[in-house]
Chain A
């Protein structure tokens, strides 16, 4: 039981670290994405080109984007963790 608790603690810590890292890094990021750089190249190649569609919804609140990225990471890590724990429990049995 203690071993399982330890594993759960480690995995919970891992989830926390990944999610926290996503939140912190997006908050302080100022690097230009390659998507923005490719838009610059498009503007250079076709200066008259006007984008014909806009995003359905853009996060308006400053932290919406980072929270959604964190949610994405959390969903992924949770499923991955569930798989590892389930497989481990099968091995123990």
Chain B
């Protein structure tokens, strides 16, 4: 319970602001909007299948999937000010990627993005494919890759979880920068130059926030594991088993 209080306390001391990080409605040329939507669709289908399989395997996974969605909901509602007078928000993707798999997060990620684009005018329907690909696909696959790559080096798996969440968050913004750089490249604005301009906007803001995301992910994971040690979904999940041993 103390971890729960610490998590809330950490959230509480952070000031919030009302801006976001997604590509704004209409600011991706139509051909690129279609391109990214088409690229995202297979991951979405895989995600639906993965969720269905998890629930069929163990109905207790329903609640875990809901909690992973809830974590994305909470973290993506927290708009944090950062350096240089800009603000952005966290993603919450890494936790779900580690606990229910990266493809499942494609489904949960797009639910949050639709909520924000329809009700809050953050992001957009025309940019949904691009935003979903960067946040729910690149963010979650990066988390898995980083966790796998770093967990062998650390006896304390929390460090690997922190790094997974940190780089997952950063990867979302690298991908967004790349998406925008590609969409607006021209003879006078080459890809690399564009990328550097967009990444300079996102990276400066996002680096401190990625550290916060890493810390919150470790806290949330520790809390979930502390109340779920004897559950089936722990023993059937290789990441969770590894984490409970550390």
Contacts and interface: CB of A to CB of B under 8 A. Distances in A.
B118 A57 contact: yes
B67 A54 contact: no
A29 B189 contact: no
Interface string A22-51: 101110011111111111011011100101
B126 interface: yes
A21 B20 CA distance: 17
Given A29-B79, A45-B194, A34 B202 contact: yes
A76 B70 contact: yes
B4 to A, nearest CB: 6
Question: Residue among B24, B122, B124 with the most chain A CB within 10 A?
Answer: B24
Contact of A18 (B8, B173, B197): B8
A54 to B, nearest CB: 6
Contacts of B120: 59, 65, 68-69, 72
Contact of B16 (A21, A32, A78, A86): A21
Contacts of A17: 8, 11-12
Interface stretch (B41-49, B84-92, B134-142, B155-163): B84-92
Contacts of A79: 66-67, 69-70, 73
A63 B164 CA distance: 35
Interface string A63-93: 0011011101101111110011011101100
Residues of A contacting B: mostly: helix
Contact of B70 (A32, A38, A80): A80
Contacts of B76: 72
A68 B115 CA distance: 10
B227 interface: yes
B25 A34 contact: no
A5 interface: no
Given A10-B1, A26-B18, A34-B19, A18 B11 contact: yes
Contact of B23 (A13, A35, A45): A35
29 contacts: A10-B1, A22-B16, A22-B78, A25-B18, A26-B79, A33-B19, A33-B79, A34-B20, A34-B202, A34-B205, A35-B23, A38-B201, A39-B24, A42-B27, A49-B27, A49-B29, A51-B25, A53-B25, A53-B26, A59-B119, A68-B120, A69-B120, A72-B76, A76-B69, A83-B64, A83-B66, A88-B1, A91-B227, A91-B230
